[in-house]
Amino acid sequence: MQGGRRKAEVIIKWVLQLGICTSIHSISHSKFNHLSMSNNDILKKLRVALSLKTEDIITICDLVGFKVTKAELGDIFRNDDHENFKPCGDQILRNFLNGLVIYKRGPREEKK
C-alpha cells in the first residue's frame, strides 16, 4: 500500500515543480491521507486542480499522439462502485502527464 502513496507524492511534487499549481492544497484532499491513491484519483485531482474539461484532456493526450475518447474518460471519472467504472491504466496517466508538460511548457526545443 505504501507504493501507491509514494507514487502520489512523487506526482504531486512533479506538478509543483512544473509550476502548474502553486500549492499542494490545490491538489490534496482527504483522499490523499489514505495509504493508496489510484491512477483514477490522481487524474481526477489534476483535472480539478487545473480546471480542465474533458475536451482539454483529450487535446492534452492528443499532443503526444495518444487517442482517448470522451466516453473512455467518462468511465474513468465515474465512482468506483458504478457499473461502467473503468480503472485508469498507467498508459493513460503517463501519456496525459507527458502531454501536460507540452500543454503547459510548449514543445521541447531542439538542441543545436
Joined together, the cell numbers standing for residue 97 give: 502527464
- % of the chain exceeding 70 in pLDDT: 71
pLDDT band for 108, please (50, 70, 90 cuts): confident
Q: Is residue 39 part of a domain?
A: yes
| Measured distance CA(95)–CA(80) in Å, rounded | 22
Joined together, the cell numbers standing for residue 50 give: 487545473
How many domains is the chain built from?
A: 1
Residues 6+ apart with CB under 8 A from 62: 99
Q: Is residue 111 part of a domain?
A: no
Query: pLDDT per residue over 30-58, tens digit each?
Result: 444 444 788 999 999 999 999 999 999 99
Decide: pTM greater than 0.75.
no
Q: Which domain holds residue 35?
A: 2-105
| Measured distance CA(7)–CA(10) in Å, rounded | 5
Q: Is residue 98 part of a domain?
A: yes
Joined together, the cell numbers standing for residue 43 give: 487524474
- % of the chain exceeding 90 in pLDDT: 56
Joined together, the cell numbers standing for residue 2 give: 505504501
Joined together, the cell numbers standing for residue 70 give: 470522451
Q: Is residue 37 part of a domain?
A: yes
